[in-house]
Structure 1
Amino acid sequence: MKSEPLSYLSSENIGPWEIYLAQVDRVTPYLGKLAFWVEDLKRPKRILVVDVPIQLDDGSVAHFEGYRVHHNTFRGPAKGGVRYHQDVTLSEVMALAAWMTIKNAAVGLPYGGGKGGVRVDPRKLSPGELERLTRRYTSEIGILIGPDKDIPAPDLGTGAREMAWMMDTYSMNVGRTAPGVVTGKPIAVGGSLGRQDATGRGVFVTAAAAAEKMGLSVEGSRVVIQGFGNVGNAAARIFHDHGARLVAVSDVTGAIRNDGGIDPYDLTAYVRQMGGVKGYPKAEPIPAPELFFTPCEFLIPAALEKQITEANAWKVQCKVIAEGANGPTTPAADDILAERGIVVVPDVIANAGGVTVSYFEWVQDFNSFFWTEEEINARLERLMRQSFEAVWQVAQDKKVTLRTAAYIVAATRVLEARAMLGLYP
């Protein structure tokens, strides 16, 4: 596979939205007549910026800035998570919404792309303050969301608890119970079995599919994971269950390494008790930046954007990168990794397991009929493998990277819909 030149983008000082635009520019030459409509991919459909005031436990009032972005809705309602993080920016939310457009189209889901976020450190708020924040934010973006308009889901800093609050707030405001307004809910209020591990499971499925193409065995392989949250934890456990060896892992507290292997189940118990991987007694601490330089077969970045860059891509020592996070690899790093023969399974395929099972949850809510976890996992694996096969074939046929191939598949589907719908009025 060759990498496509991107001469005008050599600096790493670019934001998430600029990274996304660069990725669209790379795919444009492969779109044929559909390139006529490519500007639709470069412009969000709508952006809502809201003030989220809440009363804190001490009686004072704090204001937080929130966002909800609809990037594209040609293929269906907007779909994407809600992120609570102190560094959330509009550029980030725009890019995440756009990546959701590409992701949903790449795996064939009947959704467009959306994303939301609040600039807040959730660790500094009490449960009561978080509930008030979530309910006020939901009310502020209520003009955009709905089961057939825009369906939020958990993301960084949010989970099933926040989705229950969002569902209840929306339901109270519209005067009826509306479980389909969000996904990633608790099972008791219409959530789906298999949702919690879905993203990590998808990372494993696509990484294993890439390994098969390369003649690489998962059993006995070494795995390095950046980020031990929901995605990284699930991926670690599933790789371990298939005979792989977790040799290094990091989270916000630090990074650890044990070439003999780290039991992810034991590490999970430690993290629940201690709050992070730092100090884990069965591994040695290492500087966090050195995590990427640990020799392994599979590297799973499952934290934030822009983690593998022009500065460190030359030193990465793996055969496959499966992106559990959104946008962890910059375009300049992509070029370096391609030149070095490292296969990158891009985020828009690798971490699509979460939105896929969210789709299953949404369908189950509409039908009030729920599947078993075994059925859900089987459906997930089948869809993820089919999607990967389609992207792999395009990459082989056009001699491009898997990321460019995924964008070719997704952009073609989105812009075909645009061409068929036409312009109104």
Structure 2
Amino acid sequence: MSSLSYVPPSADSPWGTYLSQIDRVIPYLGPLARWAETLKRPKRALIVDIPIEMDDGTVRHFEGFRVQHNLSRGPGKGGVRYHPDVTLEEVMALAAWMTIKNAAVNLPFGGAKGGIRVDPKQLSMKELEKITRRYTSEIGLIIGPQQDIPAPDVNTNAQIMAWMMDTYSMNVGATATGVVTGKPIHLGGSLGRVKATGRGVFVTGREAARRIGLNLDGARVAVQGFGNVGSAAAELFAGAGAKIVAVQDHTGTIVNAQGLDMAGLMETLRRDGGIGGFAQADRIDNESFWDVDCDILIPAALESQITAERANRIRARLVLEGANGPTLPTADDVLNERGILVVPDVICNAGGVTVSYFEWVQDFSSFFWSEDEINVRLDKIMVDALKKIWETSERHRIPLRTAAFAVACERILMARQERGLYP
């Protein structure tokens, strides 16, 4: 087996999408292109068996993964997701996008990602703790504050990070708060972390809208996915005067052309765990979400949502990728041809990992910042990163995604070149 990319990926798979994105950026890398193959091969992938005793006394086995894609710029950084559809190929792609994302916003991290193939909704709290602790023990040989720092992702949260931190700490014999980020505040978590990804979507969206002459006051926004990212972004856009005209989550799709009442919507989300039961809106079928008339579209659910067919139906001026890999390469081409600006995931949703970086730094120093300080630092990093990517896009006359990859890949491959090959 020569590499972890030995299985030819389908074009529409997350890994296939990532490889296509790398191919598109190679012409803009100059002499560094000789190192580009580095980006197509994960450095390390670990598949682990997770046996746990269930509440009914039976023993079940679950499959877990941790992939470190590239560590040239620093320790691995990336979330852990619990989902019944998690595969090695998906985790490879998510780790690779973390490599690009961290470099795009110039954080001193490489890219990593983890996951367990499980539906956490089918587990009791005790079973969830067991699966988390066993998974942490199994991947413990490759994670650590200076090696690889997990964080929350789909279906994981601060409680799961607390269990991971405690398990790792017990195994090394010392409290190691910096081994994960996204922890509870009183265990070394950072203020501002929960809404950081959504805030990053808003900040990059605000900057992009300003550059294309789109006034946020009265702008119509459609949001797919209403978890931490989608809901936080929606609240911030509404606070800037925008109207949230459509929302889709696992409980359904709702629309109101006059704008959804955010306070009522958030109350429904807290009460029901979804927005499907919100009374002050019309229900439409999920596929019709892509036909909603809007100015800004925020895909903040899972990857591979915007296909070429859906891209032809989108009626927005601006697409803000709150999710990782929501747009297929063929759809990217359609949106570009139609003049719809896409702010890519690797910059748009980088607010979460940026505040994770702040948390990691605070844990090392045991000195913590206020939420206002966090937000000011976050906004500056996001604005500066988008400015550089925008300038690169204009200079080469390429889409923002290709420009973001060009900026990131140059930083990654320069580090690779300067470090050299060992032995």
- Give 2:193's aligned residue: 195
Choose from 104, 107, 124 the match for 2:105. 107
Q: Is the 8 A contact 1:292 1:299 kept in 2?
A: no
Tell me the equivalent position of 1:8: none
Partner SS state of residue 312, structure 1: helix
Give the aligned residue type for 2:265: L
Q: Residue type matched to 2:348 in 1?
A: A
Q: What residue number does 1:276 align with? A: 274
Residue matched to 1:171: 169
Could you say which residue in structure 2 is the equivalent of 1:7? Answer: none
Residue identity matched to 2:231: N
Which residue of 332, 339, 342 maps to 1:341?
339
The residue aligned with 2:153 is 155
State the aligned residue count: 415
Moved over 6 A (4+): none
User: In the TM superposition, what are the counterparts of 1:362-401 in structure 2 within 5 Å?
Assistant: 362-401=360-399
The DSSP-based 3-state class of the residue aligned with 2:247 is strand
| 8 A Cα contact 2:12 2:304, kept in partner | no
CA distance in structure 2 between the partners assigned to 1:12 and 1:176 by the alignment: 44
Are 2:84 and 2:117, in contact at CA under 8 Å, matched by a contact in 1? yes
Q: Give CA deviations for 1:80-114 in whole Å, capped at 9, x if unaligned.
A: 00000000011110000000000000000000000
Quote the offset at 1:277 in angstroms: 1.2
> How far off its partner does 1:14 sit?
2.4
1:329 alignment partner, one of 323, 327, 331: 327
Q: What are the within-5 Å matches in structure 2 for residues 18-417 of structure 1?
A: 18-417=16-415
For residues 40-88 of structure 1, give each alpha carbon's deviation from its aligned partner in whole angstroms, at most 9, with x where no partner exists.
Answer: 0000000000001111111111111000000000000000000000000
CA 1:126–1:353 in structure 2 vs 1: closer, same or farther (change >3 Å)?
same
Give me the TM-score of the superposition, normalised by structure 1: 0.97
Structure 2 equivalent of residue 17 of structure 1: 15
What is the distance in 2 between the residues matched to 1:131 and 1:264? 34
Task: Find the aligned partners of 1:366 and 1:263 in 2 and give their Cα distance.
Answer: 42
Q: Structure 1 regions of 5+ residues with no counterpart?
A: 1-10
Name the SS of the counterpart of 2:308 in structure 1. Answer: coil
Residue segments in structure 2 that go unaligned for 5+ positions in a row: 1-8
d(CA) in 1 for partners of 2:215 and 2:290? 21
Contact 2:11–2:17, Cα closer than 8 Å, also in 1: no
Instruction: Measure, in 1, the Cα distance between the counterparts of 2:272 and 2:105.
Output: 38
For the 8 Å contact 1:12–1:309, the answer to whether it is kept is no
- 8 Å contact kept, 1:103–1:349: yes
Distance 1:184 1:289 in 2: 33
Q: Which stretch of the first structure deviates more once superposed, 53-62 or 93-102?
A: 53-62
TM-score by length of 2: 0.97
* Contact 1:84-1:121 at 8 Å conserved across structures: yes
CA positional deviation for 1:219: 1.3
